[in-house]
């Protein structure tokens, strides 16, 4: 189950309406959010269903795009990525898909969001040091023709909330 593969996200344009989640599905999600390496047997025992039922439910949650993948939570500083920054970008209108593809290829890109407000894109990056961060912004980001401007916000300290879904949120 914890094979590290990213199952990807279904395309919003072709996505079927989500199937409703029941209490067992929500319990499975909470267990996997706490321990993505939990075995099928352990999950089944904890939600009081058979292993076959737990396996089928987890596969359905993956196929439906509810579970997007399994990953490790990384301490970026201890992993040699001591500089982090949020970078805001203003981009050419209607260039989101093109820009998104280029941003995904950037080394250290951790999160990309199309947002509303004073800028168009919010990008989180982790790099080994400030010099590498500077190079990323000045030579890679600003070289993308559709990027009109950038603004870099250094992260001095961060706290991973590892937020779990509460029962009333689903």
Least confident span in 3-12, 121-130, 147-156, 160-169 = 3-12
pLDDT tens readout for residues 69-106: 888 888 888 889 899 999 999 999 999 999 999 999 99
Residue 56: CA atoms inside 13 Å, Cβ hemisphere, count? Answer: 6
pLDDT of residue 142 exceeding 80? yes
E strand or H helix at 41: helix 40-47
DSSP 78: T
CB 152 within 8 A of CB 137: yes
Q: Classify residue 53 as exposed, middle or buried by CB count within 10 Å of its CB (0-12, 13-18, 19+).
A: middle
pLDDT tens readout for residues 103-126: 999 999 999 999 999 999 999 999
Predicted TM-score of the model (pTM) = 0.70
């Amino acid at each position: 189950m914890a094979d590290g593969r990213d199952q990807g996200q279904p395309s919003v344009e072709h996505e079927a309406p989500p199937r409703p989640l029941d209490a067992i599905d929500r319990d499975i999600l909470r267990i996997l959010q706490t321990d993505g390496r939990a075995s099928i047997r352990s999950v089944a025992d904890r939600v009081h269903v058979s292993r076959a039922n737990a396996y089928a439910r987890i596969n359905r949650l993956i196929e439906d795009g509810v579970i997007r993948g399994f990953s490790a939570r990384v301490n970026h500083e201890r992993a040699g990525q001591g500089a982090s920054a949020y970078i805001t970008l203003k981009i050419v209108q209607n260039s989101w898909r093109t820009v998104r593809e280029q941003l995904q290829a950037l080394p250290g890109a951790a999160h990309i969001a199309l947002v509303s407000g004073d800028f168009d894109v919010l990008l989180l990056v982790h790099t080994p040091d400030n010099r590498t961060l500077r190079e990323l912004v000045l030579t890679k980001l600003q070289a993308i023709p559709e990027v009109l401007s950038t603004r870099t916000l250094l992260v001095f300290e961060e706290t991973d909330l590892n937020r779990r879904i509460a029962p009333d949120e689903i």
